[in-house]
Each structure stands twice: as C-alpha cells, then as structure tokens.
Amino acid sequence: MREQSCILGSCCLSPIRRKSVLEETAVKVKDEFYITLESVVTSRPLHDQIVVLGDFNAVTEVDRAGFEGVIGNFGSGCRNDNSLRLLTLCSVANLTILGSWFHYCHSWLSNDGHTRKEIDHILTNDRSLFKSCRVFRGAEAPANSDHRLVIAMMHQLHPMRTAKVGLQQSKCLDVETLAQSDELADKYNITVTNSFQAIRNVILQSARSTLPVVKKAKRPRLAADTISIFDKKREARLRGSTKDWRKYKGIFKARAKQDLENYYSRLADEAEKGVKRHNLRSVFRTVMKIASSPSHHHSSNCGDVPMLRGDGQSCRSTEETLGVLALLFHCLTIQRQRAAKHLR
C-alpha cells in the first residue's frame, strides 16, 4: 500500500494506491489489510480530499440497503466476503464508490471471454469532486493485463484559504454594539464622515491639478473663429483703428450670419431625429433653446431663419418660429397618442 499527499494549488489531495486482496486470501491477511487501509484513510486531515485507487476484487451489487451513501444507482454483481469488507470500510471511513454513481462498464474480463466484473474501484470522500467515471475498453493496459483502464474526470480544485506568513489575519468585528451604544455609534459616524471628507478632498485636489477648467461659452451660437474675429474687432476699436475695425466688422457679420444658420440647422436636425424616434423630449429641448435666444437673432437684419411656415415662407420673427414649433409639437403629441392606441 502506498500513500502520498498532492498539493494542487492550495488544495490538499490525498491519493492512496493499494495492491489487491484475492477472495482466496486468508481471513487474517484480509483483516490486517483493511485495518491498515482504514487507519491510513482516517489518519488524513479532515479537510483533505481523499481518493483511493485500486483493484479490490470486490463488486458492489445492486442492493443498496444499509449502504445508500456508499453505493450509487449503478451497482452490479453479487456480493462476496471482499464486497462486505469493502462496503464496511467505506461506511466507516465516510467513503463512496465512485463508479456506482455513473454508467460504469466492466473493468475486468476473464480469460474465458464471458465473465465480466467491476472490481477496479475509485473511492472518495467527496463525490462532487468528479465529473464522470468510465472504462476505456479500447485502451490496453501495460503488461498485457486483463483489466481495462478506468478514468475519472475531476472538477477544477478550488484553493483553500490559508493564513499567509507575515500578514495579519482579519478579525471579526462586533457590529451589534453600534445599536446598543449611542456614544459608540456617534463616534463611529464622526470617524466615517471625516474619512470620507479626506477622500473627497484628495479626489478634488487631484482633479483640479490634472483636469482643465471648462469655460462656459457666452455665445454658443458662434464658432470659436468668429469669436476671435469679434475680439480683434473690439481691440481695433479700443486702439482707435477705424480701418481695422470696419474690416473685422464685415468679416464678423458674415461669419455670424453663417454660424447662426448652422446653429438653427443643427437644432432642426435634432428635432427631426426626435420626430423619427418619437422622442418629444428633444423637440421640447429645441423649442426651449429657440425661446431663450435673443430677439435680435430672429430679426430680418440677421438673415433668413431656417424654419418654414405653412405657406412655405421663412419665419421672420420669434413669434412665428415658436408658432411653427408649437404646431409641430402638437402634431407629434397626437401622432404618439394614435400610435399608443394602435399598439393596444
């Protein structure tokens, strides 16, 4: 009999290999063998996952009475003295015969070509450790044996939580004392608040030293290049340079007109997308943006506003633009109500 411990990751697996005991062996030898095997199995630590491999020259039989935790639903054969000894060992050592829980084929074929038995077994104290157990009939064992290859597939072993040397182990805290003592609860709340305040200050300080400051655009309808032309025009006026001032004034007027048209075109595109998606929020947002625009942006002096009335003419004032958008909003509301009724 051989015993060894395998450490897989942080999991301890104890495989035990043994030589077979024939049915004709003396009773004294059998007793010594099973006593030794039981002492080896029971001497392993409780957290070890034990696997016993070997030819036991014993069958399980179909009857599970008295050995429900040892034999599965796929037992076979008729019991003999070795069978009773094996089942008694498994019952005492809290082991189970793995092959009886799967569709397990015969692992031994007699020389007469007819007698077949399941006498090669895998014993374990954790049946959930294995996915399957089967006999490979096509695989030839070494030394021209009359036994077939028995293979069991295991799940991945989960590492055990072990204490690391040099690291302080975590301690269980008594949280119930917070509900029993008001003074302790107030002290805890103050400590937590101060800790969060310190974390908040560190985050804000890191963000201010790393991220740029957002500059709120005073004229969101104008592009950055147009605003730079406006600044140059103002500087020319302050210097008293009439020539440069008139030059930048013409450039600014032309660009401001184009930027205004582009701005309302973007608003119209957003409203159109909202209409296609039946999203009235974007349409309402567009109406609010236009309503908050300065009245001089809708005057006839600043060019045509890209919003058409029912007669096909461009809107010339804020009232006309808001009227068109209000009508559009009303039509969308009716369309949405009709669609909801159709879905019902």
Distance set, CA 182 to CA 172, 176, 189, 233 (Å) = 21, 12, 10, 68
pTM of the predicted protein model: 0.42
Side-chain half-sphere exposure of 20, counting CA atoms within 13 A: 13
3-state class (DSSP) for residue 97: strand
Ranges 168-182, 194-208, 279-293: which has the least confidence: 279-293
Can you name the residues that pair with 11 across neighbouring β-strands? Answer: 8
Per DSSP, 158 falls in state P
Strand partners, 121: 54
The pLDDT confidence band at residue 8, using thresholds 50, 70 and 90, is: very low
Phi, psi of 307 (to 5 degrees): -145, 120
Task: Assess contact for 47 and 160: CB atoms under 8 A.
Answer: yes
Tens-digit pLDDT profile for residues 76-96: 888 888 888 888 888 888 888
pLDDT at 299 over 50: no
CB-based contacts of 249, cutoff 8 Å, min separation 6: 233
Q: What contacts 238, CB < 8 A, 6 or more positions away?
A: none
Which of the four pLDDT bands, split at 50, 70 and 90, describes residue 19?
A: low
Of residues 343 and 295, the one with the higher pLDDT is: 343
User: What tokens were used for 174?
Assistant: 């008594």
| pLDDT tens per residue, range 213-235 | 876 666 777 888 888 888 888 89
Computed over every residue of the chain, the mean pLDDT equals 76
Would strands 11-18 and 49-55 be described as parallel, antiparallel, or unpaired?
parallel
Per residue, the 3-state secondary structure of 204-265, as one string, reads: HHHHHHHCCCCCCCCCCCCCHHHHHHHHHHHHHHHHCCHHHHHHHHHHHHHHHHHHHHHHHH
Cite the beta strand spans of the chain per DSSP E.
2-3, 6-8, 11-18, 49-55, 96-97, 108-109, 116-117, 120-124, 130-140, 148-154
Find the mean pLDDT for residues 201-207.
91
Cα 105 to chain centroid, rounded = 40
Domain spans of the chain, in order of start: 2-154, 224-343
The model's pLDDT over 111-155, given as tens digits with 9 standing for 90+, comes to 777 788 888 888 888 888 888 888 877 655 555 677 778 888 888
Question: How does residue 289 score in pLDDT terms, banded at 50, 70 and 90?
Answer: confident
Distance of alpha carbon 49 from the chain centroid: 30
Identity of the highest mean pLDDT range in 110-124, 192-206, 254-268, 315-329:
192-206
Cβ(123)–Cβ(96) under 8 Å? yes
Torsion of CA 223, 229, 230, 231, to 10 degrees: 110
**What percent of the chain is modeled with pLDDT above 70?**
75
- Give the integer Cα–Cα distance in Å for 184 and 186: 5
Alpha-carbon distance of 7 to 14, in angstroms, equals 8
Tokens encoding 241: 């340079």
- Res 60 pLDDT > 60: yes
Pairing state of beta strands 130-140 and 120-124? unpaired
CB within 8 Å of 4: residues ≥ 6 apart: 14, 15
Q: Per residue in 246-268, pLDDT tens?
A: 889 899 888 888 888 888 788 77
- At the topology level, CATH places domain 2-154 in Deoxyribonuclease I; Chain A (3.60.10)
DSSP-derived letter for residue 302 is G
